[in-house]
Structure 1
C-alpha cells in the first residue's frame, strides 16, 4: 500500500471533523451569538446542503488544474474558513464560514478518494478508498470528543482553531510528500450532465442516497432513542458513541478489503441487506445492553463498510471520468444525511422515536432495490471501451 494514502486519510480526518464538531457546541454558540438553539442548528443543515451542491460544481470548475496543486489550494481555503469561523463576531459571518468550509470540504473529500485510487495498483484500489473513509469515520472517534472537550474547556471557538492548526500541518505534509498527480482529461459540461442519462450510475447514486437516509433516520436521533428505549445515562452515552466510532473506523477498513476480495458488486449486494436486517432487529435488543451493543457495533461497521465498495463500483462504471460520479455520489450522501434527519424528525412528530429503526430499514431496502437495478444495467458502450483500454494498459 502506498504510504501517501495514509497522509491523504489524515487530511480527510481533519476535513471530516469540521462537519461533525458543530453539533456538540450548539448551546454554546447560541448563547454567545444570542440566537436560538434551532437557529444554531441551521449551521449543520447549511453545511450539508452546501457540501452536496458544491462537489459537482467545483469539480467542473477545477477540471483543468493539476490535482496536487488543487488539493493544496483547496486545503488553504479550508484553513481560512475555519479561521473565519473562529473569529466570527456574528451568526451571519459564522454561517458564511460554514458554507466556505463545506464547499472546500466537498472538493477535498472527492480529491482524496480519486488521488488515493490513482496512486495505488488496481488490486489495492478498494483498500485505498477504505483507508480514506477510515479517516472520515476516525473523526467520529477522536475528532469530535477532542473538539467537545476543547469547546467545554475554552469555548466553542477553540475547536475551529484546532482544525485550522491541523490544516496547516496537512498542507506541509502533502506539499513535501505527495507527488504531482496527473490531471484527468477535461470532460465537457454537456457530457457531465449526460452521465445522468446512464441508468447504471443513477441507480448507484440513489443507492447511496437511500442508504444514508435510512441510516440517519435513526442515527440523527440516536441519543433520544437510547434514552427512550433503554434509559441510558450521560456517562453510558459517551461509551456507546465511542464504541460506535470504533466500529465505524473498522467497518470502513473492512469494506475496502471486502471490495478487493469479493469485488464491489458482491460486497454491495451483501452489505446493504444485512444492514437493513440489523437495523430492523435493533429494537428487539433494547432489553439487554450487552446484546444491544453487539448489534449496534455491527450496524455502525456496516454503515461505513458500504462506502469503499460503492466508490470502487462508481470508478469501474465510469472509468473515463470517475471524478464526475464520485462528486455526484458525495452530493447524494449529504442529501441522504439531510433527508434522513427530516424523515426521523417526522417519525418522532407523528408517532415516536422508537419507530425510527424500522422506518430507516425501509429506506435501506429501497437502497437495495436501487443497487440491484444499477448492477443489472450494462456499462454504457463508451465507458466499456474505456474500461477495456484501462484494463489492457494495466495488464
Structure 2
C-alpha cells in the first residue's frame, strides 16, 4: 500500500473531526456566545447539511482543476474557516465558519478518496477507500474526546486553532509528496449519466437505507442500553468507546473484503450480514455481555458499507466514478438524517425496544437495493487478493 494513502486518511481525520467537535464543547460555546444549548447544537446540523450539499457541488465547481490543486484549496479553506471560528465574535459568524468548514471537508473527502484509489490501483482499491474511512470513523471516536481535552486546557476557541494547525501540517506534507494528477472534467453530464443507471442508483440506495437502518438505533443507543439492556448510566462512556473502536476497524475491513470477494459480491454480503446481526440484537438485549459482543460486530459491519458501496460505484461505473463517490458522500448524510428522524418518531409514539425492529425495515430495503445493484453487473477479472 502506497504510504501516501495514510496521508489522505490523516486529511479526512482532520477535516472529519470538525463535524462533531462541537458536541463535546457545546456548553462552553453556548455560554461564551450567550446563546442556548439548542441553538449552539445546530452548529453540527449546519455542518452536516452543508457537507451533503457541497460534496456533489465541489466537482462541478472545480471540474477542470487537477486534484492536487483542489485538495490544497480545500485544506486552505478549512484552515481559514477554523481560524475564523476561533475568532468569531458571535454565533452568526460561527455558523458561517461551520458551513465553510463543511464545504472544505466534503471536497477533501472526495479528492482524498479518488487520489487514494489512483495510487492503490484496482486490486487494492477497496483497502485504499477503507483507509480513508478509518480516518473518518477515527475522527468520530478520537476527535470529540481530544477536542474536550483541548477545551478543558485552553478553552473552546483553541479547539479550532488546533484543527487549523493539524490541517496546515497535512497541507504542507501533501504539497511535498503528492504528484500532479490529470484534470478530469466532469460537469453536470457525469451526474446525469450516473443517476440514469439503475444499478448505480440502487447502490446509492443500499448505502442510504443501511446507514438509515443503523441510525434508527444508533442515534438513540444510550437510552436503549439503559432502558432495555439494563446498563447503568456511568457505563455509557466505555460502551460507546468500544463501539467506536469496532467501527474504526469496520472501515478498513469493508475495503479489504471488497478486494477479496469483488464489489458485486460484497455489496450484497455486507447489508445481508448487517440485517442478520440487527435481527439478533433484541434477543441479545436480555443478556448484557452477549449484547456487548454483538454490538461490536454490529458497529464493525455498519462502517463497512461506505467503502463497499464506493468500490462498487467505481467498479460498475468507472466513467462516472467521481460523481458516484461525491453523491455517496451526500447519501451517507441523508441516511443519517433519515434514520435519526425515523428513530425519533418511534420514540415519540412507541417504545425504545422497537428501535431495532424498525431499523430492520430499512436494512431489508438496503438488501433489496443491493441485489438490484449487483444483478447482471459483470466484475472485471482480478487476481486473488488476500493480504491485509
Name the CA shift for 1:33/1:227 in 2 (closer, same or farther; >3 Å): farther
Name the CA shift for 1:225/1:34 in 2 (closer, same or farther; >3 Å): farther
Aligned length: 383
- Do structure 1's residue 242 and structure 2's residue 237 form an aligned pair? no
Q: After superposition, where does 1:306-321 map in structure 2 within 5 Å?
A: 306-321=305-320
Instruction: Show the counterpart of 1:326.
Output: 325
Q: After superposition, where does 1:268-287 map in structure 2 within 5 Å?
A: 268-287=267-286
Q: After superposition, where does 1:202-213 map in structure 2 within 5 Å?
A: 202-213=201-212
Instruction: Show the counterpart of 1:369.
Output: 368
> What do the CA deviations read for 1:147-188 (whole angstroms, capped 9, x no partner)?
12223443332322221111111111111111212222x134
Instruction: Show the counterpart of 2:196.
Output: 197
Q: CA deviation at 1:143?
A: 1.7
Q: Distance in 2 between matches of 1:345 and 1:198?
A: 33
* Contact 2:199 2:374 (C-alpha < 8 Å) held by counterparts: yes
Instruction: Show the counterpart of 2:343.
Output: 344
Gaps of 5+ in 2: 382-388
Name the CA shift for 1:283/1:129 in 2 (closer, same or farther; >3 Å): same
* Contact 2:213 2:359 (C-alpha < 8 Å) held by counterparts: yes
> What do the CA deviations read for 1:77-127 (whole angstroms, capped 9, x no partner)?
011111122222211111111111111111111111110001122111111
Q: CA deviation at 1:264?
A: 1.3
Q: CA deviation at 1:40?
A: 2.0
Name the CA shift for 1:106/1:188 in 2 (closer, same or farther; >3 Å): closer
Instruction: Show the counterpart of 1:127.
Output: 127
Q: Distance in 2 between matches of 1:74 and 1:367?
A: 32
* Contact 2:79 2:167 (C-alpha < 8 Å) held by counterparts: yes
Indicate the RMSD between aligned Cα atoms, in angstroms: 2.1
Q: CA deviation at 1:10?
A: 0.9
DSSP-derived class of the 2:186 partner: coil
Instruction: Show the counterpart of 2:289.
Output: 290
- TM-score by length of structure 2 reads 0.93
Q: Distance in 2 between matches of 1:139 and 1:55?
A: 18
- Do structure 1's residue 114 and structure 2's residue 78 form an aligned pair? no
Instruction: Show the counterpart of 1:170.
Output: 170
Q: Distance in 1 between matches of 2:255 and 2:209?
A: 21
Q: Distance in 1 between matches of 2:152 and 2:232?
A: 19
Instruction: Show the counterpart of 1:33.
Output: 33
- Do structure 1's residue 65 and structure 2's residue 82 form an aligned pair? no
Name the CA shift for 1:98/1:188 in 2 (closer, same or farther; >3 Å): closer
Q: CA deviation at 1:263?
A: 0.7
DSSP-derived class of the 1:143 partner: helix
Q: CA deviation at 1:128?
A: 0.8
Q: CA deviation at 1:56?
A: 0.8
Name the CA shift for 1:222/1:157 in 2 (closer, same or farther; >3 Å): farther
- TM-score by length of structure 1 reads 0.92
Q: CA deviation at 1:326?
A: 0.7
Q: Distance in 2 between matches of 1:355 and 1:98?
A: 35
Name the CA shift for 1:280/1:38 in 2 (closer, same or farther; >3 Å): farther
Gaps of 5+ in 1: 389-395
Q: CA deviation at 1:231?
A: 4.4
* Contact 1:45 1:338 (C-alpha < 8 Å) held by counterparts: no
Q: Distance in 2 between matches of 1:376 and 1:334?
A: 26
Q: Distance in 1 between matches of 2:7 and 2:283?
A: 41
Instruction: Show the counterpart of 2:384.
Output: none
